[in-house]
Structures are given as C-alpha cells and as structure tokens.
Amino acid sequence: MAVGARGGASAQAGERRPFPPGNYPVVIVGSGPGGLQLSYFLTRLGIRHAVLSADDRPGGMFRDFPIYQRLNTWSKPHAPVGPESRHYAWYDWNTLLADEPAHQALVPEFMKGDSYFPTRAEMEASLEAFVARASVAVRYGCRWEGTARAEDGFLLRTSDGEYRCRVPVFAVGMAEPWKPAIPGIEHVPHYAEALPSQAYAGKRLLILGKRTSAFEIADALLPFCREILLVSPRPVLLAIHTHSTAGVRARYLLPYEDHILGGGVFMLDGATSAIERTARGFRVTATGTTKPGTFVFDADAMIAATGWTSPLGDLRALGLATFAQDRLPALTPFWESTTVQGVYFAGAAGQGAVGLRKHGVPSNSGGLGGFRHNARVLARHLAETYFGLSIPRPVLEPAEVVPYLLSETSRAAELWNQRSYLARVLTVDRSRGIIDEGILPLQYFVDAPGPDAVAAVLETDQAGDHHPAIYVRRDGRVTEHVLPGDPLLTFETGEHRTQLASILAELL
C-alpha cells in the first residue's frame, strides 16, 4: 500500500483544514508515527511547521498492518518503572514519547492486558489518542506529488498546491510493497494483499521469504494451512542469534519449531527462478543455494513476503543516493540525505542511517521503538542548525559524571532502544565546565571534530553480552573503552565506577 493510498480528506470534511499551501520553515510529509513524533517535538521547541498527509487519518502503516493484527514489539503492562519516568520507554516500545503525563504510556492504556504485544487496532487507537491529546495538527488528503529546489530551501508540489520550506522532512515510512524480479511473480499476492486466514484453510501455501513478515504469516496461518513452505535464498536469521530486531522475532518461531520437528512446515534455501500459474494454483521452480539441487513445488496459494521500499517519489531526480537495492535513502547520522543537502527523513525511512553497525547490530530506526528517539534528536538538530535556537544545556559537577553516565547506560531508553547508535554526550569546556549535550548519534560523535568530550552508549557483542561503551575525545582523537557487562544489566557496581573514573581521569 502506498502512503495515502486511501486518499481523501473525509476526516476533515467540513472542518477548516490546517496548513494551507504557503511558506513554512519545515514541512513534514506523512502522518504515521514518525511524522507525528517529529511534529510533537518541533512544536515543543516552537518551530513552526506543516504536516501533510495523503491519508485520511493518522497511523500510517498501523492503519492496515500487521496483516494478522498483532505487533511483535512489546508494551509491558507491568513495567519496573512508571510511565512518568523517562526510563519507562524501554519497557514500552510502541508508545510515542511525550513530556506531559497525559500523553504518556498511551499504548498500554488501550491494551486489554492479555498480551504484552498490542493488537494493530490497539496501536492505531493509541496513535489517534496521541494526535488528539497532544493536539498534533495534520492536513489530511494532501498528497505530496513533486519536489524541486527553491531559493533558500525546497518547493513541494501537492494535490492541494505548492508548499515552500527551508527543510522538508519525509516521514513516508517503508510503505510500498516490494517484490524481486522473478518471472511470474506478478501473479503472486504481496504480504499486503494476503487474504483473511480462513481463506487458506486446508491449503498448501508457499511463502517467498524468510524474514519477519514471512514468519508472521506462517505463524498466523499454522492453524489453517495443510502445509507451509518458506523459500528464500538465505538461511533463516533469528533475533536471538543476531541480537537485534534484524532477525526473526521469537514471537513468530512456532513455524520454525514445526519445521525442526517435521510437522508440516518446510524451510528451504533456494533461489526462485520461475513461477507459473497452474489449474491448482502455482508451480515454483527454485535452485538450492546452501545445498545443491533443483526443486519444483506445487502450491495452492502463494504470498510474497519480500519486504517493502520507501516511497521516495521524485527525490532520486534531485540526486538522492539510495542503497539496499534502491529501497532506502542513504542518510547522515542526523537523517539528512548524504547527497541532497537539506532533505531529511523521519520514521522508518530513518534506517537509511545505519550507524557504526557495531558487532553487526544496525540502528533500530526501522521500528517505532527506535525512531521515536531519533525524532527528539532531529527536532533539536533542526532547531539549532537552521532556526537559530539555542537549547539550554545542564552543567554537571565533576563528581556527578561517573554515576550519571553509568545510570544512563543502565536504564536510559534512548541508549537501549538505539544500541550503538544514540549516545549520551558530555563536553568538557574549561570556562563553562561539564556540559550535558543531550542525546546525539554516536557516529556523529566519533567522526566529527569537536571539543574534549565523552559519549556513553550501550552495546551488545557477538556473544550477546550487553555492556556500556565509553568514547573519549581528547585533542580531536577518539578512543573506545568497553566496560564489563553484568548478568542483571546493572552497570552501577564498584568495578564499573572505578573503571569509568580511571578512563575519565585525564578528561575531567
């Protein structure tokens, strides 16, 4: 489904629609969680902006997906800390961030309490509540149709007219179904077009793909299908092995166990070369990749769980660099295009900024749990870089630094949701003292020149051990210092304090 495929401004029919065409400092395109979260933080900073959406209501992808109606990211009904704590977000990956108590923990508020994974409907209701309570204004039914450079910024052509802005931010998600070029694949419904589960009762289903969306479908259809085959060139990667959400989440692993125990689910590593329609359904030809051989499968039904692409419109014509087989924009650590200066992204498309990929763990910006934190960082960055805002920074006493950084690595949601990507940064200035610069991308810290400073992040190594990592910049040179892990993830021990104090001794 393309962003705003439903179109229309029915939700606002008869109302005065906000943000008529004109000049705005910032224009956000998209009313999914990425666009809503950025709008919220820009408003908090007093940065005037417009939010445009082709949709008729908020929610983005959550208006329709997950296709079988329950998310794979947790919102724990009983978290170790209350929603008023800024550390709460680590236990609730689905709620948008807000500073006011009335707007916090919105997803659990709508959950029945029988699962720690919200349903799609609960998720959508929470997003609508966020929009209402935080008064996030959106111009619905306004489709972004074209982009051009303009004096001191950009011009966006929309179905409602032209918008000029200093900074456009595209929060357009990974919203367009993507299928590889295999002969006959045009006959295969994409994940987005999967039928109600009852329609697969008694059928032999072949799913192209072995990533999370393929497993989501297989898991939902286990009670219905006679047999399920999952076919893709690469062996399955599990989140419990990759130590990141880049692998298949455990929530969907029943089909994997069924495959291991030989119960009617089959997983094959094969490159599909042809798909034909038959009287019964489909015939699929594939060649083994990890084991040799040619396979021919007959199936009653097929689903292509082959992923999504970001709907980038005409941005490539401006010179936007992309990667991941042309599906993602290549972005700087602050989510700006690496090739079209001044064009920014928010929401799931922000995964185009991969970060240091330490121990293979990429940024968690493809999911709401990660990109909501990016929005706060991006809002501050835009406010200070383009609009002359100077956001006050707290000053710390030297004795506060070690306990503060260890506390941050033990429980700050920004660091846990965005391991190896977002860092707590303190700069050391002889005249001003120790300044808390806030949360910044680690890649920016280690690669950009700057004053003496320290950055603290949470990292996970190949063995799955979580530990704090400290990056110290002295005289322009950055060094890495890895602190020990802890079985209960408490990094405020005497050993941690001693080690960190020693690392920071010269800096402080």
User: Which chain residues interact with another protein by CB under 8 A?
Assistant: 180-181, 232-234, 241-242, 269-271, 273, 286-290, 316, 321-326, 330, 332, 338-339, 354, 356-362, 420, 446-447, 459, 461-462, 479-480, 482
User: With contact defined as beta carbons under 8 Å apart, do 77 and 54 qualify?
Assistant: no
Reading the block at residue 79, the tokens are 């978290």
Q: Which is nearer to another protein, 152 or 506 (CB)?
A: 506
- DSSP-based helix, strand, coil % in the chain, nearest 5: 30, 25, 45
Cβ of residue 479: shortest distance to another protein, in angstroms? 7
Cβ of residue 489: shortest distance to another protein, in angstroms? 19
Residue where the block lists tokens 């799609």: 120
Distance CA 418, CA 502 (A): 26
Q: Which is nearer to another protein, 120 or 419 (CB)?
A: 419
Cβ of residue 146: shortest distance to another protein, in angstroms? 20
Q: Which is nearer to another protein, 76 or 323 (CB)?
A: 323
User: With contact defined as beta carbons under 8 Å apart, do 357 and 460 qualify?
Assistant: no
Distance CA 32, CA 34 (A): 5
Q: Which is nearer to another protein, 44 or 359 (CB)?
A: 359
Cβ of residue 360: shortest distance to another protein, in angstroms? 2
User: With contact defined as beta carbons under 8 Å apart, do 434 and 397 qualify?
Assistant: yes
Q: Which is nearer to another protein, 332 or 493 (CB)?
A: 332
Q: Residue 20 CB: number of other CB atoms within 10 A?
A: 12
Cβ of residue 339: shortest distance to another protein, in angstroms? 7
Distance CA 271, CA 391 (A): 53
145-184 burial, b at 16+ Cβ within 10 Å, e below that, comes to eebeeeeebbbbbbebeebbbbbbbbbbbbbbbbbeebeb
Cβ of residue 223: shortest distance to another protein, in angstroms? 29
Cβ of residue 312: shortest distance to another protein, in angstroms? 10
Q: Which is nearer to another protein, 180 or 451 (CB)?
A: 180
Distance CA 469, CA 162 (A): 47
Distance CA 438, CA 376 (A): 10
Q: Which of 222, 285, 277, 286 is nearest to 254 (CA)?
A: 222
Cβ of residue 399: shortest distance to another protein, in angstroms? 29
Distance CA 64, CA 86 (A): 30
The distance in angstroms from the start CA to the end CA of the chain is 53
Residue where the block lists tokens 């006679």: 226
Helix (H, G, I), strand (E, B) or coil at 133: helix
Q: Which of 394, 397, 396, 398 is nearest to 507 (CA)?
A: 398
Cβ of residue 481: shortest distance to another protein, in angstroms? 10
Q: Which is nearer to another protein, 150 or 446 (CB)?
A: 446
Q: Which is nearer to another protein, 45 or 354 (CB)?
A: 354
Q: Which is nearer to another protein, 283 or 358 (CB)?
A: 358
Cβ of residue 425: shortest distance to another protein, in angstroms? 17
Q: Which is nearer to another protein, 11 or 324 (CB)?
A: 324
214 contact partners, CB below 8 Å, separation of at least 6? 191, 207, 208, 230, 232, 305
Cβ of residue 502: shortest distance to another protein, in angstroms? 18
Q: Which is nearer to another protein, 92 or 459 (CB)?
A: 459
Q: Which of 389, 393, 347, 439 is nearest to 47 (CA)?
A: 389
